[in-house]
Amino acid sequence: MIQLNHIHKHYGPRVALDDVNLHISNGICFGLIGPNGAGKSTLMKILSCILEDFEGEALVSDQPLRENRDSIKKKLGYVPQEICLEEKLTAIDNLSFFGRIYGLKGNDLKHAMDKVMKKVGLYDRRKDLVSSFSGGMKRRMNIACALLHNPKIIILDEPTVGVDPQSRNYIFDIIKDLKKEGKTVLYSSHYMEEVENLCDEIALIDSGNIVEYGSIREILKKHATPSIFVQSEGIKKKDLVTFGEVTEVKDGFVVETEEPLKVMDDLASIFIEKNISVERLEISKRSLEDIFLTLTGTSLRD
Ligand SMILES: Nc1ncnc2c1ncn2[C@@H]1O[C@H](COP(=O)(O)OP(=O)(O)OP(=O)(O)O)[C@@H](O)[C@H]1O
């Protein structure tokens, strides 16, 4: 379990995290979603014991982080946003360097290196120089380095940035496998569809604040009132107000209602009865990306 209570972090006058409170259960994939500069990396670096100077209380595996950094580091695998590999060395030599940092040697190290290279789909390239790898392969190597010591918790900071589609899918498969093995995965991204597909729970973060967190289903239930989109030249806003909250949008009207099927049925009956032609009449739900925009006033990407 990871627990964050009232975490504040500033760099000089710049506030990076502003009273962050989070609970992440064991064995889930937790997504941290926010735009550039939201505070995702700062939060991940605090949890990975890279940033030691912060205010508030952080617990990892039920242990206070400040007093237990050495034991917590052994349970954690951190995949930074930057590629941390020596290009002039082979993949296996890079891994061997990280393995020794984790205290692995001899057969244990060899076994661990073979295992992670298979996991990230680069076993056949293990003797090649990292400089000969594509950007996506280097990202997968970055992940392999963090998995060598078989950590219980894996923290990945935007692992798909600048990655080709094939490596991206590989990375998603690696994360799904880690989840099946019962690992806790903390994953940051500014692509909502990534966290929607991978994560059990998510936190929406903007300007150092967690604006919402929980399971995707809970967040949608709380914020995504169903609505009906109506496009018809024969309809005015005043004709719809009895059915729910009406917003005029570019091509028509959005009617928010808790009873979308009934309202659809009622509207269809009125259109038929009055012989009004309709271009579009459909039920829609606000997406997580719409919810993020409503809660923060910020788009996830420029
Ligand atoms: N070393 C630093 N010195 C000064 N300010 C920093 C430093 N690192 C981060 N910041 C600032 O802290 C805020 C949060 O940055 P952080 O890197 O945590 O955001 P992020 O969500 O990870 O962004 P990105 O998606 O671009 O990586 C930003 O305003 C950033 O400019």
Strand partners, 32: 188, 203
Task: Report how far ligand 1's centroid is from the alpha carbon of 75 (Å).
Answer: 25
Closest CA to 186 of 104, 76, 100: 76
- Cα separation, 24 vs 247, in Å, equals 37
User: Which residue of 8, 14, 15 sits with most ligand 1 atoms within 8 Å of its CB, as the best mutation to test the pocket?
Assistant: 14
Q: Ligand 1, closest atom to CA 17? A: 14
pLDDT tens profile 222-244:
888 888 999 999 999 999 999 99
Q: Ligand 1, closest atom to CA 45? A: 18
Q: Where are the domains of the chain?
A: 2-221, 225-285
Residue nearest to atom 2 of ligand 1 (CA): 11
Q: Where are the alpha helices (DSSP H) in the chain?
A: 40-47, 69-75, 91-101, 106-119, 135-147, 165-180, 192-198, 216-223, 260-273, 288-296
pLDDT tens profile 188-205:
998 999 999 999 999 999
Do 65 and 2 contact (CB within 8 A), yes or no?
Answer: no
> What is residue 170's three-state secondary structure?
helix
Edge-to-edge strands of the sheet including 227-231? 245-248, 253-256, 227-231, 280-284
- Cα separation, 62 vs 55, in Å, equals 18
pLDDT tens profile 104-147:
999 999 999 999 999 999 999 999 999 999 999 999 999 999 99
Task: Report how far ligand 1's centroid is from the alpha carbon of 204 (Å).
Answer: 16
Residue nearest to atom 1 of ligand 1 (CA): 11
Sign of CA dihedral 264, 270, 273, 275: negative
User: Which residue of 8, 17, 42, 53 sits with most ligand 1 atoms within 8 Å of its CB, as the best mutation to test the pocket?
Assistant: 42
Closest CA to 122 of 145, 99, 105, 154: 145
ipTM over 0.90: yes
User: In the chain, what's the furthest Cα-to-Cα distance?
Assistant: 82
Phi and psi of 210, rounded to 5°?
-85, 110
Closest CA to 205 of 78, 14, 18: 18
pLDDT at residue 124 in the model: 97
Instruction: Spell out a b/e string for 159-191, using b for 16 or more CB atoms within 10 Å of the CB, else e.
Output: bbeebeeebbebbbebbeebbeeebbbbbbbbb
Task: Report how far ligand 1's centroid is from the alpha carbon of 208 (Å).
Answer: 9
CATH code of 225-285, in short, is 3.30.70.980
- Cα separation, 296 vs 211, in Å, equals 7
Task: Report how far ligand 1's centroid is from the alpha carbon of 42 (Å).
Answer: 6
Task: Report how far ligand 1's centroid is from the alpha carbon of 155 (Å).
Answer: 17
The response to whether residue 11 sits with its C-beta less than 6 Å from ligand 1 reads yes
Give 10-residue mean pLDDT values along the chain (302 residues): 96 96 96 95 96 96 93 94 94 95 92 96 96 94 96 96 89 95 95 92 96 93 87 92 88 89 93 92 86 84 73
pLDDT at residue 87 in the model: 96
How far is residue 217 CA from its own chain's centroid? 15
Q: Give 248-284 as a DSSP string.
A: E-SSSEEEE-S-HHHHHHHHHHHHHHTT---SEEEEE
Task: Report how far ligand 1's centroid is from the alpha carbon of 37 (Å).
Answer: 5
pLDDT at residue 54 in the model: 96
Task: Report how far ligand 1's centroid is from the alpha carbon of 14 (Å).
Answer: 9
The response to whether residue 36 sits with its C-beta less than 6 Å from ligand 1 reads yes
2-221 CATH fold:
Rossmann fold (3.40.50)
